[in-house]
Amino acid sequence: MLRRLFFSISCGCLVACFVAAQHAPTPHEKELLRNHYDSARKFEQAADWSAAEREWRGVLRVTPDDARAWTNLGTALSQQKKTAEASEAWSRAIELNPNLPGPHFNIGLALVRMESYREAISPLRRSLRLQPDNDAAQRALAVALIGTERFPEATREIAQLLARSPRDAGLLEMAAQSFQRQRRFSEALTVLRRRLGLPQPTSQLWAQFGDALDANGRTTEAVEAYGKALELEPDSTLIRYGLGFLYWKLVRYDEAERELVEVLRRDADYARASFLVGDLYLTKGNAERALPFLRKAAAAYPRDFDTRFALGRALVITGDHSGGIEELRAAVALDQSIADGHFQLGRALTRAGFAAEGKQELDKARQLNEARRASEEQRLKRRLPE
């Protein structure tokens, strides 16, 4: 996702500076420099970066302390994927003139391209201090901040960019990602709605919109968003699974089964889909049919409470008490705080003849339920006016 967002920063953003040399050249040197600069411009325009490199090296033979020429040389090297040499050229430019924003920006941009996000932040901030109106540097900084999960800082940078370019699709997508990672789902909805109103909304954007709707408690609307995503990308098992999950969450089991079974037809090893299908059949009272799906899910996710708990229940219902107790024990060991885990384990132990141990688990279930009710009562009292 970050890679896609980053490349909305134009590859032409590397700063190249064409100025005269900094010392007083002789007439012959003036003519030589003019020829190098003119040739460099032509080669840059033709994207002949090897030839441009040759010309900039010619400039530096005449004026070796020209920081701007070092900056331009770095650009030509970078375009040829000579990243280390480019970085050395830009570093040399900074040594000669630390107040030149271009080389700071170019180093930061190159680091973002290499996904070295943490290292990119400092040179990009220096570049922006020297040139505050550099939108490309600010966009690259936002990408670096997202890459290092500094989402509030990224959001501030993106907000400033959007104030200047409110219909920039890439910025809106970056903003949505940042808001969702901060669990600011209402704000994510706002920017996603704006992005979906622009040309060429993708299936991923509709799915992201659906996730934000669901997180805001608008699951029925989320189904519609995922439906649009699936229309755009009908072969995506991930999107189809998301739609099936939302149907399952809404207890629309027939529609959930249709989508999830289709996911498994396309990818039999999709363990999360296997779990939902198994849980669906278990809820509908068909534990025998649920078993193979739940076994596959538990094998894929042995450290997940839900998979082990559902498999344990299905095994007990189908008469395999020892196997069911083993799975329920595993589930409770994974999460001691879920009352229903202790309750189902207690019932299974009691039915299998382990009355004392079963009572202990049932007592734990009761205690957890009582603690939950007491906590809810306290929250309710705090909300009510005196």
DSSP conformational letter for 12: G
Structure tokens at 132: 């505050």
Structure tokens at 150: 């500094």
Cα 8 from Cα 170, distance rounded (Å) = 6
First to last CA, the chain: 50
**pTM of model > 0.95:** no
DSSP conformational letter for 198: S
- Using DSSP's 3-state secondary structure scheme, residue 111 falls into helix
| Average confidence (pLDDT) over 203-209 | 97
pLDDT digits (tens, 9 = 90+) for 274-299: 999 999 999 999 999 999 999 999 99
Reply yes or no on whether the pLDDT at 18 is more than 80.
Answer: no
Reply yes or no on whether the pLDDT at 22 is more than 60.
Answer: no
**Percent of the chain at pLDDT exceeding 70:** 92
Reply yes or no on whether the pLDDT at 364 is more than 60.
Answer: yes
Reply yes or no on whether the pLDDT at 378 is more than 80.
Answer: no
Reply yes or no on whether the pLDDT at 5 is more than 50.
Answer: no
Pinpoint the alpha helices (H) of 97-134: 101-113, 117-130
Burial label, 204 (beta-carbon count in 10 A; 0-12, 13-18, 19+): middle
Average pLDDT, the chain: 92
**Among residues 292, 15, 307, 21, which one has the least CA distance to residue 134?**
15
pLDDT at 30: 83
* Other beta carbons within 10 Å of 337: 11
Cα 145 from Cα 152, distance rounded (Å) = 9
Q: Are 158 and 142 in contact (CB under 8 A)?
A: yes
pLDDT digits (tens, 9 = 90+) for 189-201: 999 999 999 999 9
The residue type found at 97 is N
Per-residue pLDDT band for 27 (boundaries 50, 70, 90) equals confident
Q: Which of 12-16, 25-29, 278-282, 323-327 has the lowest mean pLDDT?
A: 12-16
Structure tokens at 340: 């229903």
Per-residue pLDDT band for 3 (boundaries 50, 70, 90) equals very low
Structure tokens at 285: 């009272």
Cα 386 from Cα 36, distance rounded (Å) = 82
